[in-house]
């Protein structure tokens, strides 16, 4: 009976992995270009607001949930945490553009003053006005995502 249970659990795990990866597809060509046409401007604005310590500019394209995750009252502390861990934002290269359900996910390889290898993920709603639904930062120096506070 234990052996059968192991196979059932293994089968469930494998089917879950297949199901989860089937929800996301890599975008190419004109579909990818269309996403980048709005996402690059929006991401530039996000980092310009961060660099200028300007919450209004930083949060302009965030959806309501992200504004709750990084409110005006907590922006200075959040920015200080990012600055302390990574330093000043320098630049980014597009690593991947995908579609996952009702979201577009743009993944970047970013460089900061104290961290050359930063995986930056910016998730956009596919519906207008294509606001930012999530920002994720992954590096040896700092790991942050809006999901952290929802666990």
The model's pLDDT over 20-68, given as tens digits with 9 standing for 90+, comes to 445 789 999 999 999 999 999 999 999 999 999 999 999 999 999 999 9
Report which of residues 7 and 43 the model is more confident about. 43
pLDDT score of 88 = 94
Confidence at residue 2, expressed as pLDDT on a 0 to 100 scale:
47
Q: How far apart (Å, rounded) are the C-alpha atoms in residues 26 and 75?
A: 32
Helix, strand, coil shares, percent, the chain, to 5 = 50, 30, 20
Residue 8 is predicted with a pLDDT of 53
Q: Determine the Cα–Cα distance for residues 26 and 69; give it in Å rounded to an integer.
A: 28
Torsion of CA 44, 48, 54, 57, to 10 degrees: -30
Q: How far is CA 5 from CA 11, 12, 15, 16, in A?
A: 10, 11, 15, 16
**Phi, psi of 2, deg, nearest 5:** -60, -40
Q: Would the pTM of this model clear 0.75, i.e. be above it?
A: yes
**Greatest distance between any 2 Cα atoms in the chain:** 63
First-last CA distance in the chain: 35
Instruction: Please check the confidence at residue 140 and state whether its pLDDT lies above 50.
Output: yes
Q: Which CATH number, 3.10.150, 3.40.50, 3.10.450, 3.30.2310, labels domain 25-150?
A: 3.10.450
């Amino acid at each position: 009976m234990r052996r059968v249970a192991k196979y059932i659990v293994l089968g469930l795990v494998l089917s879950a992995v297949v199901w989860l990866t089937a929800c996301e597809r890599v975008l190419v060509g004109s579909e990818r270009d269309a996403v980048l046409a709005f996402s690059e401007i929006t991401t530039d604005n996000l980092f310009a607001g961060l660099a200028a310590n300007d919450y209004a500019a930083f949060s302009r394209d965030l959806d309501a949930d992200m504004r709750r995750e990084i409110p005006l009252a907590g922006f200075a502390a959040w920015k200080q945490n990012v600055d302390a861990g990574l330093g000043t934002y320098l630049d980014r290269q597009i690593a991947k553009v995908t579609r996952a359900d009702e979201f577009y996910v743009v993944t970047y390889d970013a460089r900061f003053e104290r961290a050359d290898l930063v995986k930056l993920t910016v998730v956009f709603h596919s519906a207008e006005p294509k606001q930012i639904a999530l920002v994720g930062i992954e590096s040896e120096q700092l790991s942050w995502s809006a999901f952290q506070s929802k666990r």
